[in-house]
Structure 1
Amino acid sequence: MLRCNYFCLFSLVLSVALASCDGHHEIIDTSMQVGHVLCTDGRVMPFEECERLDKEPIAVVFHLGYDEKTEGKGYAVYLRDLSNEAFADSVGVAQGTSADLYAHDGNANTYEMYACNGCGSPAANAVFAMWRYGQSAYIPSVAQMRLLYVAKPYINHIIERCGGEPLPDEADEVWYWTSTEVSGQETSKAWLYSLGSGAVQETPKLQSHKVRPVVTLND
């Protein structure tokens, strides 16, 4: 009798296990990952889920970090470039960025560029003008552009699937403004960053170059 009970119990467990397998109950990882998309409602999800729910993507996650350098939970890059703009409309004025090549402070830098009383910043103005959906876009710092460069091979196909402009490889298209002024030359130069090679180049602020805005993920 005892042997029969054990056999019946084993059969019941096996039947339940097989039924579960037949039901294909897939466990979905809902944690935020590089390559997920930021939607207009502020939610972050895989592109396939965004498409299934008929949501509008506006940016792609390119960095996640829970260290003291990373703001919020990480960063997402917008789907398109802004047109060429100058870092400043005049020279002779330090615009108040940290000039730190290793700080993740693009958000604070962009605000300082925008709020500077000594001169205007067409690049910062262009970024402030695009703010929508509660997302505060900004010009990434040199350190944040490094993170974007590293992530480029993993996110470009997602940017394309979202209908955006992939980060370029062509030599004459890869240079972007950062929001970091050149230390010791803050009144006249800021850093350009190449998304083709990872190089930086100190550049007169009056020159016009592209901006690829990013956003901090806080939720």
Structure 2
Amino acid sequence: MTMRMKKLFSILAVAATVLLTACDEHQDFPDTAMKVTHILTTDGKVMPYETYEQSCKQAIAVVFNVNQREEMEGNGYAVYLWDIAPEAFADSIGVEQDTSCDLTAYDGNKNTFALYGTTDVKSPLAERVFDMWRYGQSAYIPSVAQMRLLYHAKDIINPYILKCGGTPIPDEDDDCWYWTSTEVEGQATAKAWLYSLGSGAIQETPKWQPHKARPIITIMD
């Protein structure tokens, strides 16, 4: 082996040593991406429970879905810590309240506004939700499709709801039915969908009946 080749191998060996040393000295940076079970506080901040626990902030909701679909608004959804007491979807029947009636649409926010804005009939349910609009966050009644997401996440988020002083999502047959904001296609003047957070079933229900609801919040940038 010539002297020139020996020098070349020596340079390559030094370079490899430097690269390996650099890799060994890498730093781990915290993962700041929003995740399911993160806590939404009244000032609009989203953080891991451990961070929330060390803060002086007030929790209002728990993240149950991180947006990975183009048809969804915002970055994800958080579920309110408490139920809304039973209210009627509408104070009378005979009027369509202009929801999409789409069982696959993530449009609870638009539906809730439609319920609130219908002039020919009042929605005690939507009015109760609008009374919650404070802290700069707009809670609304989830659509059927959004309730499906909540149903599949309930076992993961329930421990965090409890830690934050909220009411866990129930499994009991007699306590698991909630209003969605979706009217029944073809019967929208009289019925809307209830959703079972115990089984994942849906049931068309006369809109004058009082049932509870579980508001959600869209996480925006």
Same structural fold, with TM-score higher than 0.5 when normalized by the shorter chain = yes
Give the superposition deviation at 1:69.
1.9
Which of 153, 157, 160 is residue 158 of structure 1 equivalent to?
A: 160
Q: Offset at 1:56?
A: 0.9
TM-score by length of 2: 0.88
Partner of 2:192: 190
Give the structure 1 partner of residue 148 of structure 2.
146
* Partner Cα separation in structure 2 for residue 143 and residue 62 of structure 1: 13
| Secondary structure of 2:40 counterpart | strand
The equivalent of 2:61 in structure 1 is: 59
Q: What is aligned with 2:115?
A: 113
The aligned counterpart of 1:30 is 32
What do the CA deviations read for 1:151-191 (whole angstroms, capped 9, x no partner)?
Answer: 11110001001110000011111000000000000000000
Residue 176 of structure 2 is matched in structure 1 by 174
Which residue number in structure 1 is paired with residue 96 of structure 2?
Answer: 94
CA-CA distance at 1:26 after TM superposition: 5.6
Three-state SS of the structure 1 residue aligned to 2:62 is strand
The answer to whether structure 1 residue 128 and structure 2 residue 140 are counterparts is: no
Residue 106 of structure 2 corresponds to which residue in structure 1? 104
SS in 2 for 1:157: helix
- Identify the residue that residue 84 of structure 2 maps to in structure 1: 82
Measured on the aligned residues, the alpha-carbon RMSD in Å equals 2.1
TM-score by length of 1: 0.89
Partner of 1:48, secondary structure, is: helix
Bigger Rg over Cα: 2
Please give the alpha-carbon distance, in whole angstroms, between the structure 2 residues aligned to 1:160 and 1:113.
Answer: 31
Question: Matched residue pairs, number?
Answer: 209
The one-letter code sitting in structure 1 at the alignment partner of 2:38 is H
CA distance in 2, matches of 1:133, 1:48: 22
CA distance in 2, matches of 1:37, 1:179: 24
Distance 2:70 2:49 in 1: 29
Structure 1 residue 48, shift from structure 2 partner = 1.0
SS at structure 1 position matched to 2:193: strand
**Range with greater deviation from structure 2 (185-194 or 39-48):** 39-48
Percent identity, aligned pairs only, is 60
